[in-house]
């Protein structure tokens, strides 16, 4: 049996860049793990090659088989969570127990107003207007 | 549709594993052994050679071999200086090299590579054409195969996809990777019906 859980304070999933993120990491494992690590990172999803960036990790020392530990991260100013048709950038917290490799993951949004930036395509008629307005200036 | 929600996003395509047809893994491994683990997976672009090679790796490890995955591609046609020397330094009969993209080496470089890796217990390659090593498996595609993969990605029945499958299969000459990449674009366009 392996249960890992990430609880973010106030059950939030949306944050401003630079904001503080707090919560608790808990686990219930058959045996004391060698190590438990909480990772704050972003990754991309979409059509092309995937990319990822590790921002911060917290290693919980001398973990028992069943425990709850508090954590605190200061979120960076960038990159923002965003989604277009070709690529999405997603922020996440991941709790990993070694050596079992048991994992828990929570996805969050890091962007102004806590809203994922949408890169929707601009309708053709609007791009035409923009081009015209540039042309007349 | 957001890229993260597109059923044909890279992450999901990479999760699709090779679908052996008319042969079992046990039969394929027996044939591999009969060829003394020196064999080729042959097929056109986008036919699943790399996926099959990746799927062979854990099965060879289960048989007690140490596997080493190496890759050349059209973007990277030669090994870094010193790479082969390092790779070949400690090769033993327990090591099997899994070489993706062997066709990138010219005939002379291929001969040299074979000689340098002669102490390895095996060499399984992927290549577009037959002839470099005895063929272990020829990767073939079909509209039914594309339909099956797309159906799994879309979580629908494959019979509902035949119209689009036939168009994309023909357009990309059986290259399933390219067909699935185009399906990504079609899925991301809200104005186009997904099937």
Comparing CB atoms, the residue among A48, A49, A83 nearest residue B4 is A83
- Provide ipTM, 2 decimals: 0.78
Which residue range forms the structural domain that includes residue A56? 2-136
* pLDDT at position B51: 97
- Residues of chain B in contact with residue A85, where contact means CB-CB under 8 angstroms, are 1-3, 6, 188-189
Which domains are delineated in chain B? 25-139 (3.40.50.300), 142-188 (no CATH)
* pLDDT at position A103: 94
Nearest one of A91, A96, A93, A90 to A106, comparing CA atoms: A93
Query: Buried (b) or exposed (e) across B115-150, using 16+ Cβ within 10 A?
Result: eebeebbbbbbbbeeeebbebbbebebebebbbbbb
* pLDDT at position A102: 86
- Residues of chain B in contact with residue A49, where contact means CB-CB under 8 angstroms, are 10
pLDDT, average across residues A65-80: 96
CATH number, domain containing residue A79: 2.60.40.640
Distance (Å) from the alpha carbon of B24 to chain A's nearest alpha carbon? 30
pLDDT band for A133, please (50, 70, 90 cuts).
very low
Check if the beta carbon of residue A39 is closer than 8 Å to that of residue A54.
Answer: yes
Query: Buried (b) or exposed (e) across A98-110, using 16+ Cβ within 10 A?
Result: eeeebebeeebbb
Per-residue pLDDT tens digits for B51-64:
999 999 999 999 99
Distance (Å) from the alpha carbon of B2 to chain A's nearest alpha carbon? 5
For residue A127, report the phi and psi dihedrals to the nearest 5 degrees.
Answer: -65, -35
Q: What percent of chain A has pLDDT above 70?
A: 88
Comparing CB atoms, the residue among A50, A83, A85 nearest residue B11 is A50
For residue B109, report the phi and psi dihedrals to the nearest 5 degrees.
Answer: -65, -35
Check if the beta carbon of residue A122 is closer than 8 Å to that of residue A85.
Answer: no
Torsion angle defined by CA atoms of residues B54, B56, B62 and B67, in that order, rounded to the nearest 10 degrees: -60
User: Using the beta-carbon criterion (under 8 Å), do B10 and A50 form an inter-chain contact?
Assistant: yes
pLDDT, average across residues B72-99: 94
pLDDT, average across residues B5-27: 95
Residues B75 and B41: their CA atoms lie apart, in Å, by 21
Q: In chain A, how many domains are there?
A: 1
Mean pLDDT of chain B: 95
pLDDT band for A137, please (50, 70, 90 cuts).
very low
Strand A87-98 and strand A82-84: the pairing is antiparallel
pLDDT at A127 over 80: no
Check if the beta carbon of residue A104 is closer than 8 Å to that of residue B24.
Answer: no
Per-residue pLDDT tens digits for B126-172:
999 999 999 999 999 999 999 999 999 999 999 999 999 999 999 99
pLDDT band for A130, please (50, 70, 90 cuts).
very low
Q: Which residue of A has its CA nearest to B8?
A: A47
Q: Coil, strand or helix: which one is A30?
A: coil
């Amino acid at each position: 049996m392996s249960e890992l859980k990430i609880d973010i304070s106030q059950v939030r999933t949306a944050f401003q860049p630079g904001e503080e993120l707090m919560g608790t990491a808990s686990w219930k494992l058959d045996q004391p793990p060698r190590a438990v690590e909480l990772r704050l990172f972003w990754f991309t999803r979409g059509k092309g090659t995937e990319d990822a960036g590790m921002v911060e990790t917290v290693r919980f020392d001398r973990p028992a088989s069943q425990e709850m530990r508090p954590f605190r991260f200061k979120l960076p100013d960038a990159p923002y969570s965003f989604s277009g048709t070709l690529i999405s950038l997603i922020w996440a917290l991941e709790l990993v127990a070694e050596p079992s490799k048991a994992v828990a993951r929570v996805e969050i949004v890091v962007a102004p107003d806590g809203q994922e930036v949408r890169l929707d395509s601009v309708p053709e008629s609007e791009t035409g207007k923009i081009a015209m307005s540039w042309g007349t200036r | 549709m957001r890229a993260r929600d597109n059923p044909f996003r890279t992450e999901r395509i990479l999760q699709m594993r090779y679908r052996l047809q008319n042969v079992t893994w046990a039969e394929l491994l027996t044939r591999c052994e009969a060829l003394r683990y020196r064999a080729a997976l042959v097929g056109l672009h986008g036919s699943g050679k790399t996926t099959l090679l990746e799927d062979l790796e854990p099965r060879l490890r289960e048989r007690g071999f140490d596997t080493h995955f190496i890759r050349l591609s059209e973007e990277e046609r030669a090994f870094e200086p010193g790479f082969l020397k390092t790779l070949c330094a400690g090769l033993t009969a327990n090591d099997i090299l899994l070489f993706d993209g062997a066709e990138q080496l010219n005939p002379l470089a291929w001969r040299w590579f074979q000689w340098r890796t002669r102490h390895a217990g095996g060499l399984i390659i992927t290549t577009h054409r037959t002839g470099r090593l005895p063929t272990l498996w020829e990767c073939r595609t079909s509209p039914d195969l594309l339909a099956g993969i797309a159906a799994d990605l879309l979580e629908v029945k494959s019979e509902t996809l035949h119209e689009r499958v036939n168009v994309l299969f023909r357009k990309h000459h059986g290259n399933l990777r390219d067909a699935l990449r185009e399906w990504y674009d079609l899925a991301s366009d809200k104005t186009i019906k997904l099937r």
